[in-house]
Structure 1
Amino acid sequence: MLEFGKFKIFTILSVILIGAFFSAPNFMSEQLNKELPSWWSPASLGLDLRGGSYLLMEVDTNAVENEQYIDLQETIRQSLRKAKIGYRNLSVRNTSVTFMLPNPDLKSEARRVINQEIQNLVFEDLDNGRQKVSLPDDILAERKRAAVNQSIEIIRRRVDEFGTAEASIQRQGQDRIIIELPGIDDPERVKEIIGRTAKLNFHLLAPGFSGPVTGNSNVPPGAILLPSSDSIGNYVVQRRVSVPGEMLVDSQPGFQDGLAIVNFRFNTQGGRRFGAITSKNVGKFLAIVLDGEVISAPRIRTAITGGSGMIEGGFTVQSAQDLSLLLRAGALPAPLTILEERSVGPGLGADSIKAGEFASVLGLIAVALFMISVYGLFGLFSVLALAINLLLILGALSGIGATLTLPGIAGIVLTVGMAVDANVLIFERMREELKTGRTLFNALDSGFKQAFKTILDSNLTTLIAAILLFWFGSGPVKGFAVTLGLGILSTLFTATMVSRLIIILWVRKTGQTTLPIVTINKDAIIKPLIALMPQQFTFDFVSKRKFAAVLSSIFLILSIGSLSVQKLNFGIDFSGGILIEARAPGSVDVGSIRAVVGDLGLGDVAITTFGSTGQDFLIRVQKQEGGEEQQVAALNMVKESLGTDYDYRRTELVGPKVGQELFMDGALAVLLALLAISIYIWLRFEWQFALGASMALAHDVVATLGLFSLFSLDFNLTTVAAILTIAGYSINDTVVAYDRVRESLRKYKKLSLPELVNMSLNKVLSRTLLTSFTTLLAVLSLFVFGGEVLRGFSIALLWGVVIGTYSSIYVAMPILIYFNLRQEDIIGEEDISNLSQVPNNN
């Protein structure tokens, strides 16, 4: 472990230099970054840091299917009329078209003429001469996929037309689209433009009709009733589209007689078709239909053969501009529904960056000062390794194009606290090896070797939690999983390679015969406190296990009882609903805001203030009945009722469908993490260890859920991230102790199992205390300075450090005793005679 050839040193330095190279743009000015190539750029900031909107939209594929059957119905109508085959009761029913043939002998001929227009149709005979026609499943599936792909392309065109830079539009699952729009100033307008179908078609009015009608007029066959956009009545228009809007190639806003209009131009085919329609129908009326509403229905006074025209409809300048944009980008093939919406104003984004930076720097400084004070020069070495660690994380984020979110900053801060653990394990192992009388180089070699196995086991279990969190998480929570995962990998590298290289070079350069973490050199500039601590604690942990069992039982009963009766206070991530964070121009008048919003009839509304200025407040509105559309309507009602005096800094909207899915994904992530970690421990250790680790994890998860239930703390996606992190931290502690128990079982045969457990816990106690304290320092800075968004996350982690340390001692260890772990389980019967009698405590 101490041999460092030139190639190995070159490899380590190369990795560090590559990380520094890719992280460099993060320290350059914004102006300089604009001149850099796209592959060498700073880490992208998430919407919660830079401001912007996140939308999860669902394409209504049922509407696509319904439209296909309406088209099939019209095709069958035209085909049978052209072939002069009589029919009755032609209609769309569910997922098929049905009609009746008065003359059943014409069935084969009817099917033949229909198949000439559309092939591979599925025909079925019904009773009384009725026919059922269906589209094949593969054709429907292909058209639904095409509709989603077309929707993505059209949304991208609309966003590009709107001028939003660095927008991200990607598919999720079969029929959903994720849209991320950074830095927009008017999210409501963008949302309106993105979600509007903007399907423009030209229809002739049905024969005998020249304008809007009132009431329910008799609609002749082949015609449909459409409302007017200005609510003056309904128009009876021919069902068949005369000229489809897909043939438009350009549209621009303009003015006619001082009124805003929209000018349009067709492609060559559309121009010819429009000219033919207007030539043959001079004197008749042509309806301009947008999204199922008639904008206008002017009389055709003369043939229009130039391939262009204009639309009048009482537009404002803004609405004419928006309609022109939509027509240029193209119509959506199906309606879009907003399932989830999260918007962050640029002001809150800037505040979040400041809070995250301050919490990160403060946590790093606190941990660095603590490590230097405890380990002296070696603490300085660990801080240097930690700085390289952070540099590698930042370089990796920039190199792979990952997005840094506010929970991602929390992941980095947590890495600061937990990365120190690897160095603490190595240093403590070195102290222990030197105590046995080994030479310096032997102690260093043994310390790194023995610590490496523990470091690998403990970090891999945390990595399992990070991977599952990334897989099942969404939005900013994925950012946390990415930074946590990268932090674990870089920690393994810096602790086992960089720290080792630094220490070995220092020993060879100075010719040391002992370490400053064991004995204090009177002439040393930095005197470590660790040398003043006892190298062997003698606490009797095992004798307190029954008292701890009673204490754990009481708390678990309280937790389960609270979860059963009071349940969890689900945030809108899981329950669905609306959350608005706003800042008032002066002190918040909660009473007046509650009165205004309460009068809207939206159900339960909670208004709370936070922060020290007295200007910031949160509005929570319960999930609305009626689906996602009602959620959006309720959000708009709240904003309109409050007016424009407030700065809307953050908006979150989660529909009931997504809320339930997020809850199920979060629960599944936690359960799979517990299962995967247990399986890993089972494979690496024995079944008693796996059982103990599983029970400790379950204990910590239930205790954390109980804490949130007892105190009605907001339980959301970031809380799930915290729980999985707690699981990783807890198993980290447990694995360190288990490794020492297994090692002790291999060495000593005369000690009873309780004595072995006690001895093992005392040997790792200094590491446990130091790691817990450094992690608490890092998380505490998040809690105090990380902002409101990370408050619940920080509370969970603070609690997790305490409960994780407790469970690794008083839940995981007693299980080994209760289930009678034996030395034969570890090394086999034939090797027991070679074991030492008792440990040497000199």
Structure 2
Amino acid sequence: MLDFPTWKKTWLWLITAVAILAALPSLVSMTSAKWPEALPDPTVNLGLDLAGGSHILLEAEPSQVAAQRLENLEEAVRTALRQAEPRIRIGDVSTADGRLTFMVEDMGEVDRARELILPLVNGNGMVREWDLSMVDETRFVLTPTEQGLEQAVTDAMDSATEVVRKRIDSLGTREPTIIRQGDTRIVVQVPGLQDPDALKELLGQTARLEFKLVDQTALPSDVAAGVAPPGSEIVPYAETTAQAGTSLAVRRLGGIRGDNLVGAQQTFDPQTNEPVVSITFDQQGGARFANLTRENVNKPFAIILDGKVLSAPNINEPILGGSASISGGFTTETANNLAISLRSGALPVDLAVIEERTVGPDLGADSIRSGLLAMTIGSVAVIVLMIATYGRFGLYATAALVINVLMILGIMAVLNTTLTLPGIAGFVLTIGAAVDANVLINERIREERKRGRRVVAAVETGYKEASRAIYDANVTNFIAGVLLFLFGSGPIRGFAVVLVIGLFTSVFTAVTLTRMWVAGWLRKARPNELNL
């Protein structure tokens, strides 16, 4: 138990030294000194409550989810009946009043049409998404259910939350707080970002990319008047394009969405040297894009982003390979932002900023000073008590305590974790837990000496028996910390991170390191008595 060969001592000191060195950049950043640029500089990031930052509240419009579901259902029904063998023809299609209605032209095909539509109506089988009814024997009426709409809104908000998280992560920020609030709101807090305009611009872009065929039958006068032929819709050009202020008639259904994108990168057009966005589809999306361009050679198709036409190039030849480029009067910055938005995925619903705040770092500086003061006073009091009570063993506990704090900082810096105000509380709690471990060990050694054991035997037994209780206590704390991290958010997770890291470093310093120091002293001094 007290045997520490040279290789083991070297290994333990190496781990300690690496963790302490990793903490140095964070300590230097607290002073006016500068860390050398040539050296690695892992530093602990400060949370919103300490460093300040941006707070934004986003709200979604549920009616958009209902409209998108209705459009998806119409396209799915048309596709299912068109691909049936033989094809089932329908007419008089309407999506008025939030319902899909259509008429089967051949009355003898009604039953077969119902069999094809039922799987689309039932959805995943857990929630009935649509009610199917018949009118006048040949007209189908599909009405959304309340449960289906609620589930769709929930799924859309969950997806939107994940998209927001990906976009913020692409900015290089660390430990943002992104949580759902109510049914249709998302709270976003980004530490260290004092200017929320770039964040608002990035989150306010839905990035819904669509490729739709241009309706060449539409008369220019009708398009200018906002009148679209049946089955088409009028879409305005984006303000960044040369055709800004005009509109285009495109086929409402049958296009391709950007859901199958797997890559987007800002590049430059080799002919004009203008910034463009190069996109790549997955296998399924690439096949659909190839089919669309193959079947419509010499026809124009519109590239639409968030309901605005970016361009309407002519399909000169089939576009194979699943790659394409998007142009639209971009600057390098706007093209890069669009690429980020496309890579992170389209928002399933528009998000409007209904509240924004910029939190200054002044309150955080006060919190840091107060936390450090509390930690310093507590540490000094604990150090004085330990040395007065346990003498040499108290000095070992004090050294372990200092190393413990430095190791926590170093590990947090290497892992790029964020320190929050509750995290400072976790530091203080860790100090208490680390000292508690040494108290258990020292008191157990006292008991063994009172029972008549020799010095070495008492120390060895004390460490062995006390370690069991220490490990048991830390396992329960570890479980609690993991649960806090998994189910908590923001500052709660910050507390959990410090707690879990502190559990490992406390056991390492308070048990392993002090045992190595005590073993070295016993081997060198060979004392006959312990001043405990």
How high is the TM-score relative to the length of structure 2?
Answer: 0.63
Q: What RMSD, in angstroms, separates the aligned Cα atoms of the two structures?
A: 5.8
- 1:765-806, CA deviations, whole angstroms, 9 ceiling, x for partnerless residues? xxxxxxxxxxxxxxxxxxxxxxxxxxxxxxxxxxxxxxxxxx
Pick from 237, 241, 252 the counterpart of residue 240 of structure 1: 252
Amino acid at match of 1:24: L
Which residue of the partner structure matches residue 72 of structure 2? 68
Shift of the 333–378 alpha-carbon distance from structure 1 to 2, 3 Å rule, reads closer
Pick from 314, 327, 335 the counterpart of residue 349 of structure 2: 335
Pick from 437, 444, 459 the counterpart of residue 422 of structure 1: 437
Residues 1:190 and 2:199 are matched in the alignment: yes
Q: What SS is found at the alignment partner of 1:426?
A: helix
Q: Is the 8 A contact 1:212 1:234 kept in 2?
A: no
Give the Cα–Cα distance (whole angstroms) in 2 for the partners of residues 468 and 147 of structure 1: 24
Give the Cα–Cα distance (whole angstroms) in 1 for the partners of residues 527 and 277 of structure 2: 85
Moved more, 453-462 or 321-330: 321-330
Give the aligned length: 461
Give the Cα–Cα distance (whole angstroms) in 1 for the partners of residues 518 and 164 of structure 2: 59
Give the Cα–Cα distance (whole angstroms) in 2 for the partners of residues 178 and 19 of structure 1: 39
Deviation for aligned residue 1:103: 3.0
Q: 5 Å matches for 1:168-317? A: 181-199=190-208, 207=219, 209-211=222-224, 221-223=230-232, 240=252, 276-277=299-300, 291-292=306-307
Amino acid at match of 1:368: I
Give the Cα–Cα distance (whole angstroms) in 2 for the partners of residues 450 and 327 of structure 1: 61
Which residue of the partner structure matches residue 108 of structure 2? 105
Deviation for aligned residue 1:405: 2.9
Q: Is the 8 A contact 1:45 1:404 kept in 2?
A: yes
Q: What SS is found at the alignment partner of 2:441?
A: helix
Q: 5 Å matches for 1:111-130? A: 126=134, 128-130=137-139
Give the Cα–Cα distance (whole angstroms) in 1 for the partners of residues 257 and 89 of structure 2: 32
Give the Cα–Cα distance (whole angstroms) in 1 for the partners of residues 393 and 470 of structure 2: 18
Q: What SS is found at the alignment partner of 2:531?
A: coil
Residues 1:512 and 2:527 are matched in the alignment: yes
Q: What SS is found at the alignment partner of 1:209?
A: helix
Give the Cα–Cα distance (whole angstroms) in 1 for the partners of residues 257 and 164 of structure 2: 14
Residues 1:487 and 2:502 are matched in the alignment: yes
Q: What SS is found at the alignment partner of 1:87?
A: strand
Deviation for aligned residue 1:197: 0.9
Give the Cα–Cα distance (whole angstroms) in 2 for the partners of residues 492 and 177 of structure 1: 39
Q: Is the 8 A contact 2:161 2:179 kept in 1?
A: no
Which residue of the partner structure matches residue 387 of structure 2? 372
Deviation for aligned residue 1:104: 0.6
Q: Is the 8 A contact 1:407 1:477 kept in 2?
A: yes
Deviation for aligned residue 1:27: 0.5
Deviation for aligned residue 1:421: 1.6
Residues 1:27 and 2:31 are matched in the alignment: no
Q: Is the 8 A contact 1:242 1:277 kept in 2?
A: no
Deviation for aligned residue 1:55: 7.4
Q: What SS is found at the alignment partner of 1:493?
A: helix
Which residue of the partner structure matches residue 483 of structure 2? 468
Shift of the 122–440 alpha-carbon distance from structure 1 to 2, 3 Å rule, reads closer
Give the Cα–Cα distance (whole angstroms) in 2 for the partners of residues 357 and 274 of structure 1: 70
Q: What SS is found at the alignment partner of 2:95?
A: strand
Identity %: 32
Q: Is the 8 A contact 1:381 1:502 kept in 2?
A: yes
Q: Is the 8 A contact 1:385 1:495 kept in 2?
A: yes
Structure 2, unaligned runs of 5 or more: 123-131, 144-150, 240-244, 269-273, 280-288, 317-324
Shift of the 104–381 alpha-carbon distance from structure 1 to 2, 3 Å rule, reads same
Q: What SS is found at the alignment partner of 2:102?
A: strand
- 1:430-457, CA deviations, whole angstroms, 9 ceiling, x for partnerless residues? 4444445554445434544453444344
Pick from 12, 15, 18 the counterpart of residue 15 of structure 1: 12
Deviation for aligned residue 1:24: 0.9
Moved more, 98-107 or 480-489: 98-107
Q: Is the 8 A contact 2:448 2:461 kept in 1?
A: yes
- 1:275-303, CA deviations, whole angstroms, 9 ceiling, x for partnerless residues? 7339xxxxxxx9x97644x699x9x9x99
Residues 1:411 and 2:426 are matched in the alignment: yes
Give the Cα–Cα distance (whole angstroms) in 1 for the partners of residues 452 and 167 of structure 2: 73
Which residue of the partner structure matches residue 282 of structure 2? none
Give the Cα–Cα distance (whole angstroms) in 1 for the partners of residues 306 and 397 of structure 2: 64
Deviation for aligned residue 1:472: 2.2
Which residue of the partner structure matches residue 776 of structure 1? none
Q: Is the 8 A contact 1:73 1:91 kept in 2?
A: no
Q: Is the 8 A contact 1:263 1:308 kept in 2?
A: no
Shift of the 184–131 alpha-carbon distance from structure 1 to 2, 3 Å rule, reads same
Amino acid at match of 1:470: F
Q: Is the 8 A contact 2:234 2:247 kept in 1?
A: yes
Q: What SS is found at the alignment partner of 1:488?
A: helix
Give the Cα–Cα distance (whole angstroms) in 2 for the partners of residues 76 and 93 of structure 1: 23
Q: Is the 8 A contact 1:167 1:180 kept in 2?
A: no
Give the Cα–Cα distance (whole angstroms) in 2 for the partners of residues 420 and 374 of structure 1: 12
Q: 5 Å matches for 1:60-99? A: 62=65, 65-72=69-76, 85=89, 87-91=91-95, 97-99=100-102
Query: Which structure exhibits the higher relative contact order, with contacts defined as CA atoms closer than 8 Å and separated by 6 or more residues?
Result: 2
Amino acid at match of 1:378: F
Q: Is the 8 A contact 2:167 2:202 kept in 1?
A: no
Q: What SS is found at the alignment partner of 1:4?
A: coil
Which residue of the partner structure matches residue 363 of structure 1? 378
Deviation for aligned residue 1:368: 1.7
Shift of the 489–303 alpha-carbon distance from structure 1 to 2, 3 Å rule, reads closer
Higher helix share: 1
Deviation for aligned residue 1:351: 5.1
Give the Cα–Cα distance (whole angstroms) in 2 for the partners of residues 504 and 324 of structure 1: 64
Deviation for aligned residue 1:45: 4.2
Give the Cα–Cα distance (whole angstroms) in 1 for the partners of residues 512 and 168 of structure 2: 50
Deviation for aligned residue 1:190: 0.9
Deviation for aligned residue 1:470: 2.4
Shift of the 50–308 alpha-carbon distance from structure 1 to 2, 3 Å rule, reads closer
- 1:281-329, CA deviations, whole angstroms, 9 ceiling, x for partnerless residues? xxxxx9x97644x699x9x9x9999x99867xxxxxxx98886555454
Deviation for aligned residue 1:91: 3.5
Give the Cα–Cα distance (whole angstroms) in 2 for the partners of residues 26 and 103 of structure 1: 77
Shift of the 289–445 alpha-carbon distance from structure 1 to 2, 3 Å rule, reads closer
Pick from 162, 165, 168 the counterpart of residue 172 of structure 2: 165
Give the Cα–Cα distance (whole angstroms) in 2 for the partners of residues 397 and 159 of structure 1: 18
How high is the TM-score relative to the length of structure 1?
Answer: 0.43
Shift of the 511–310 alpha-carbon distance from structure 1 to 2, 3 Å rule, reads closer
Q: What SS is found at the alignment partner of 2:222?
A: coil
Give the Cα–Cα distance (whole angstroms) in 1 for the partners of residues 499 and 381 of structure 2: 20
Shift of the 322–75 alpha-carbon distance from structure 1 to 2, 3 Å rule, reads farther
Larger Rg over CA atoms:
1
Q: Is the 8 A contact 1:151 1:332 kept in 2?
A: no
Shift of the 170–406 alpha-carbon distance from structure 1 to 2, 3 Å rule, reads closer
Q: What SS is found at the alignment partner of 1:513?
A: coil
Deviation for aligned residue 1:427: 2.6
Structure 1, unaligned runs of 5 or more: 135-140, 253-261, 279-285, 312-318, 518-842
Which residue of the partner structure matches residue 321 of structure 2? none
